[in-house]
Homo-oligomer: A and B are copies of this chain.
């Protein structure tokens, strides 16, 4: 369990008998560009089907805030958040979409998915 994962808290899925979807949309994500040190801004959309555990909303907010002064690339941060949450929650399915604000006249979306093997 890495330092950032320790921030994440969980609670037992109240309805594990059913596949249902939880979506958390966080439009206030910010980190730094590792090359220029300039701030990047993104909306992070987390969609998942919980298995035994759900992520506690406030701790998830603190987890996202922990990237505020980290230098990290678009592709890396998207996969990093997905991996941290998959390891912590062991969900049935999870999708992470990061929509980054315009840089140099171009805006970028990164979309990564995880599916539990059965």
Given known contacts A20-B111, A20-B113, A110-B21, A14 and B105 CB-to-CB distance under 8 angstroms: no
- Bound state CA distance, A15 and B113, in angstroms? 12
Q: Are B61 and A14 neighbours in the complex by a CB distance under 8 Å? A: no
Nearest residue in B to A13 (C-beta to C-beta)? Answer: B75
A98 to chain B, nearest CB (A): 10
How many residues of chain A are within 8 Å of chain B by beta carbon?
A: 47
A108 within 8 A of B: yes
State the Cβ distance, A58 to closest chain B Cβ, in Å: 6
**Quick check: A41 and B15 within 8 Å, CB to CB?**
no
Expressed in whole angstroms, the minimum distance between the Cβ of A32 and any Cβ of chain B is 9
**Residues of chain A in range 43-91 having any CB-CB distance to chain B below 8 Å:** 50, 54, 57-58, 60-61, 65, 68-69, 73-76, 78-79
